[in-house]
Amino acid sequence: MFAIGLWDDIKPLGARRKLFLQIGVAFAVYLSGIGIHVFTVPFTGQVVVLPWGGSVLTVLWILAITNLINLIDGVDGLAGGISLMLMALIACIGNHTGNLQLVGAGMVGALLGFLRYNFPPAKIYLGDGGSFFLGFQIAVMSLVNSHKGEVFGALAAPMIVLGLPIADMALAIFRRGLRGLPIFRPDRKHLHHRLLGMGFSKNRVVLSFYGLTLLFFLFAIVAFSLRRRFQFGLSLVSVGVLLVCAKSLRFSRPWFAIARVITESLKIRIEVTYTLCVTRLLIADGARSKNISVLWDDLVFSLRKLDCTSVSFSGSGLDRVWSNPACSGSARSVRYELKEGLLVLGVPAPPGSPRICGSEYQADEHNAINKSSANFEMKVWEIKGELIAEAWAKALSAHLEKSKPSVVSAPIQLSPSSPFGGA
């Protein structure tokens, strides 16, 4: 699992390829004898043997925990600190079960040493290799600690500690699915990104997550000690704590307007689906374009179809500007810092903005649109702009890779008798 993450750090593998390799590793763990083999019903205590479903649950458990730790590695010190608490939990549980208590305690010490240099401002980083390694360790050590493979007990406690990342991942899947975006597409809408956007410093974000996770850690210790009697109630308390935090930070307000959220997301989905079709064509053009000028024309063609007002790009030996003469309304500029250079998109301003007449702005007071409509248009263009920037980066990268001079060996001399030879 560490090798998969390290490979992805060196050269991106893509979400599907990573998932396929992770499934292979998780299934190998099950074949080695570590896994979920029985399920204990929490209320009745009845034990259900899982002859074939155990392999599925084991693979899902390992994939979920591994990718949850990777998901929260968006701010320095966050994944390492939460992993430290999980390793401490594993050490506590291992002290009761007689499994891996020294390994868990040793990992606590290792993570303390790591956090000294990973806490903001960080000098060293986990990367995908480090986060996959930690998540895989936590998942497998929890399975080893479970009593004969029971789900509740040793496995329920880590799930309580991971309440915050689980809620974040569930919201991300729901958000992307409603809007028609690929589920595995990364974005900057996670909880730590939103806190940073609200003006929180990195240190404050990390300490806030530490505090909440520490509370869940205490819940998990109590849940394991009580052995199924109050685990369901403690899980409900954890959910209640998350809802209170969401309300205090005003995260939950839009989600309670379910009908409006679904209607708005379905409208966004139509625009996103069309944008994905156009940008996929642009990405394909990247490897086929004969020269950089042709690729720029392909970008302009795509932007015309997506109603962009202008674009400028500087970098990778290219410095071009284009503006759409058909757009006379007011526009706003959005900058994207890409590895290949700086891309600036001109996108239509929200409805109700002043229109250009000659060289002066004239506000149309009779055609003012309410604030919610303006916010909706901004959400649409926020997603469309990110998709365009990602597609241009991939297309340009593919074109530059194809244009690199390659080492050509000596030409093969074909004899007249060769079927490909001749005069």
- Does 258 score more than 70 pLDDT? no
- Which pair of structure tokens corresponds to residue 74? 């968006």
Ramachandran region of residue 234, left (φ > 0), alpha (ψ -120 to 50) or beta?
A: alpha
Instruction: Give whole-number Cα distances, 79 to 114, 132, 264, in Å.
Output: 11, 11, 33
Prediction pTM value: 0.70
Q: What residues pair up with 365 in beta bridges, in sequence order?
A: none
* pLDDT value of position 53: 66
- Does 180 score more than 90 pLDDT? no
- Which pair of structure tokens corresponds to residue 85? 């608490």
Q: Which residue has the higher pLDDT, 247 or 96?
A: 96
- Region 122-139: mean pLDDT is 92
Residue with token string 């806490």: 119
By C-alpha distance, which of 282, 231, 22, 39 is closest to 151?
39
- Does 255 score more than 60 pLDDT? no
Q: Which residue has the higher pLDDT, 132 or 56?
A: 132
pLDDT single digits (tens) 261-280: 677 777 888 888 898 899 99
- Does 355 score more than 60 pLDDT? no
- Does 318 score more than 60 pLDDT? yes
- Does 326 score more than 90 pLDDT? no
Give the torsion sign (CA, 80, 86, 92, 98): negative
Q: What angle do CA 109, 112, 114 make, to 5 degrees?
A: 110
Residues 6+ apart with CB under 8 A from 245: 212, 251
* Cβ contact 46:151 at 8 Å: no
**Averaged confidence pLDDT in the chain:** 78
Instruction: Give whole-number Cα distances, 263 to 63, 123, 257, 268, 400, in Å.
Output: 32, 45, 10, 9, 41
Fold of 258-402: Beta-Lactamase (3.30.450)
Percent of the chain clearing pLDDT 90 (strictly above): 17
Range(s) within the chain of domains with CATH label 3.30.450: 258-402
* pLDDT value of position 250: 59
pLDDT single digits (tens) 284-304: 888 888 888 888 889 889 888
- Mean pLDDT is highest, among 64-78, 172-186, 371-385, for 64-78
Phi, psi values for residue 197, rounded to 5°: -65, -25
* pLDDT value of position 252: 53
- Does 87 score more than 90 pLDDT? yes
- Does 391 score more than 50 pLDDT? yes
Query: CA 419: distance to chain centroid?
Result: 54
* Cβ contact 389:382 at 8 Å: no
Rounded to 10 degrees, the C-alpha dihedral 334/339/341/345 comes to: -20
* pLDDT value of position 350: 65
* pLDDT value of position 108: 94
* Cis status of the peptide bond prior to 416, with omega within 30 of 0: no
* Cβ contact 136:1 at 8 Å: yes
- Mean pLDDT is highest, among 12-26, 190-204, 392-406, for 12-26
* pLDDT value of position 6: 94
Q: Which residue has the higher pLDDT, 183 or 26?
A: 26
* pLDDT value of position 200: 81
Q: Which residue has the higher pLDDT, 356 or 91?
A: 91
Spatial distance between the Cα atoms of 373 and 251, rounded to a whole number of angstroms: 20
* pLDDT value of position 107: 94
pLDDT single digits (tens) 132-166: 999 999 999 988 887 544 455 567 778 778 877 88
* pLDDT value of position 364: 43
By C-alpha distance, which of 173, 188, 152, 176 is closest to 61?
152
Query: CA 394: distance to chain centroid?
Result: 18
- Which pair of structure tokens corresponds to residue 33? 């004898």
Give the torsion sign (CA, 196, 201, 207, 212): negative
* pLDDT value of position 410: 45
- Does 368 score more than 50 pLDDT? no
- Which pair of structure tokens corresponds to residue 60? 């899902």
List the single range of 47-56, 123-132, 162-171, 203-212 with lowest mean pLDDT: 47-56
- Does 97 score more than 90 pLDDT? no
Spatial distance between the Cα atoms of 385 and 273, rounded to a whole number of angstroms: 13
pLDDT band at 63; cut points 50, 70, 90: very high
